[in-house]
Structure formats: C-alpha cells, structure tokens
C-alpha cells in the first residue's frame, strides 16, 4: 500500500518534469528559430503584404522579387564564390598548421615548448583589436624583414588580396587559431602513448606516425576545427572588412547592403525610399548570406554534435 503510493508519486514527478522540460525546450527552440523563420516569411512577401493587417506569417502574394533584388545588389553569386573560396582556403590551411602545432605541443616536447605554449594562450587572451593597427600597417607595406624590397625594389601592398588570410592561416595565427591549437593539443594528449610507441617500434618515424596513426584517430577534433573555422571565417566581419575592403565577399557585401539598397531604390521621383521596404530586402539579403551555412549544417550537424562530444575540449 505504502509502496504503491510512493510509486505513483514518483511517477507524477516524472510526468511533471517531462512536461516542464518539453515546454522549456520547445519555447527556447522557438526563440532561436524565430528570427530565421521571420526572415524566410519576409523574403517571400510582396510589397503590398507589408501593410496588410491580415498577413502575419504566410504571405498573401508570394513573390521572388525580394530575392531578385537582393541577389542583384549583393552580386550574390560572385560573393558566394569568393566567400566560399576564401573560407575553404583558410579553413584547410588553419587545420593543417594548427594540427601540427597541437601535436608538437602535446607529444613532441622540446626545451622551451612550455614557454611557447604560454604564447598560444597569450594569443587567445589578447583582444585582436590591440594588434590590428600594426598588422594592418605591416600588410600595407609588406617587406618580409626587408627581403622583398631587396629583390623588387619596393614593398608590396597585400591589402585587398587573399594573402593576409593565407599567411596568417598557414602560420596558425588566423581568427581564433589559438583555440584550435588548444583543441588539438587536448585531443592528442588524450590518445594513449602506447599507440604511438607501437608505431615507433615498428619503424615508423615521427612524421609517419603523425599522419598514419595520430591523424586518423583525431577525426573528431579535425571535424570540429574544420567546421568552426569555416563558419567563423564565413561570418567574420572584423578582419574581412579591414583587409578586404573592395573585394566582394559576403561580409563586406552584407555590410554595405543597406547603403547600396538606399542608392538603388532612391530613384528621382521618390525622394525617400520606404524604410520598411529597405528592411525587407535587407532581411532577404541576410537570409541569402546564411542560407549556405544552414544547408551545410543540416548535412553535418549530426556528425558535428557527436564529434565535439568526443573532442576532448574537456581535457
């Protein structure tokens, strides 16, 4: 008698908790998805729907006009190609250089490697804005310690090229690279030493052990770093708007979208363009910019979530 009452109480508690949990998760999911849904809904609306009181989510008149406008103004396909090239390039270079550094710090200890690792931590802690101006000036008159002027007579201007991104990512100093080195180091430290020693005994050198034994084992952390670095580079406006002012990539195109829109829509007769309409096309532009990321995420999210759980960020 007593036991069954207790049991049913337990059961009630369980049910209530499930309900609370469901409400919380559903509510928060809605909060996260709301801006995206909002943009999708806005993008398909015709201009007339904007003022129609009966239209909230589903448009009365479907149109692709907003997309056509936004694609035209942003030079979308060109920007998409450029952004993809830039992100893919930096992602691959960053992953290679950070994996090397991470392995070096985790397993191949040498004199002073502790001190150098403190340097990695320092790069994470110092806000990028602190060193932005000297790096900018350095890239503007890039001389490689006076080597380039010696050969060609003058220094080269690397701004508005992809070189700043290539150079920093090949040397593991690009956007948030310190974090990636940290992730790799933690992961390599977690792989048992015996695996490595067995490879050495079988006659593999350090290099061979690294890319035949360690890298295949490190796939979760590689996936994590690839994804983070691709996505953050894609969205980055901090470095992109500084180094690549005139190149057509997503961040700069999005940044100048409101301005370009105002110019385009402000035709002679109307002295002032409708701000609501501007905002509508701008939302469509944002949707277009993040759409590739959402599509990629839909395909890899399962792998991503699983892999990060095994990454060893946790130490």
Give the nearer residue to other proteins in terms of CB position, either 6 or 268.
6
Q: Would you give the binding string for other proteins spanning residues 213-252, x where CB under 8 A is met? A: ---------------x--xx--xxxx--xx--------x-
What is the smallest separation between the CB atom of 85 and other proteins, expressed in angstroms?
18
Which residues in the 197-216 window bind other proteins by CB under 8 A? Answer: 200, 206-207, 210
Report the distance separating Cα 177 and Cα 153, nearest Å.
34
Provide the phi-psi class of 312: left if phi over 0, else alpha when psi is between -120 and 50, else beta: left
**Three-class SS string for 9-33?**
HHHHHHHHHHHHHHHHHHHHHHHHH
What is the distance between the alpha carbons of residues 219 and 199, in angstroms, rounded to a whole number? 19
Count other Cβ atoms within 10 Å, centred on residue 174: 26
Are 62 and 139 in contact by the 8 Å Cβ rule? The answer is no
* Residue 184 beta carbon to other proteins: minimum distance, rounded to whole angstroms: 11
The residues in 31-60 that bind other proteins, with binding defined as CB under 8 A, are 31-36, 38, 42, 50
Q: Please state the length of the chain.
A: 315
* 140-179 positions binding other proteins, by CB under 8 A: 141, 167-168, 170-173
| DSSP letter, residue 47 | G
Q: Which lies closer to other proteins via its Cβ, residue 194 or residue 268?
A: 194
Q: How far is the CB of 152 from other proteins (least distance, A)?
A: 17
Q: Which is nearer to other proteins, 88 or 170 (CB)?
A: 170
Q: Interacting stretch for other proteins, rule CB under 8 A, among 72-80, 82-90, 261-269, 305-313? A: 305-313
């Amino acid at each position: 008698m007593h036991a069954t009452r207790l049991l049913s109480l337990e059961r009630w508690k369980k049910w209530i908790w499930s309900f609370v949990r469901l409400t919380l998760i559903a509510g928060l999911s809605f909060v996260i998805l709301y801006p995206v849904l909002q943009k999708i809904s806005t993008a398909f609306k015709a201009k007339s729907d904007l003022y129609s009181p009966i239209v909230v989510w589903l448009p009365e008149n479907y149109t692709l006009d907003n997309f056509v406008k936004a694609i035209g103004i942003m030079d979308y396909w060109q920007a998409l190609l450029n952004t993809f090239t830039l992100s893919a390039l930096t992602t691959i270079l960053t992953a290679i250089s950070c994996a090397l550094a991470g392995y070096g710090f985790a397993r191949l200890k040498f004199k002073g490697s502790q001190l150098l690792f403190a340097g990695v931590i320092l790069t994470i802690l110092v806000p990028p804005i602190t060193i932005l101006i000297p790096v900018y000036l350095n890239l503007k008159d890039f001389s490689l310690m006076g080597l380039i002027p010696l050969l060609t007579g003058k220094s080269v201007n690397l701004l508005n090229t992809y070189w700043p991104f290539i150079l920093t990512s090949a040397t593991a100093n690009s956007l948030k690279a310190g974090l990636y080195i940290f992730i790799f180091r933690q992961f390599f430290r977690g792989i048992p030493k015996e695996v490595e020693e067995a490879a050495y005994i079988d006659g593999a050198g350090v290099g061979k052990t690294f890319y035949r034994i360690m890298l295949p084992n490190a796939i979760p952390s590689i996936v994590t770093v690839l994804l983070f670095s691709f996505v953050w580079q894609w969205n980055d406006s901090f470095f992109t708007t500084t180094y690549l002012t005139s190149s057509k990539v997503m961040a700069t195109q999005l940044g100048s979208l409101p301005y370009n829109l105002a110019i385009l829509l402000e035709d002679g007769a109307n002295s002032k363009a409708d701000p609501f309409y501007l905002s509508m096309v701008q939302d469509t532009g944002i949707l277009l910019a993040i759409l590739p990321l959402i599509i990629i995420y839909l395909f890899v999210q399962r792998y991503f979530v699983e892999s990060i759980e095994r990454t060893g960020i946790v130490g």
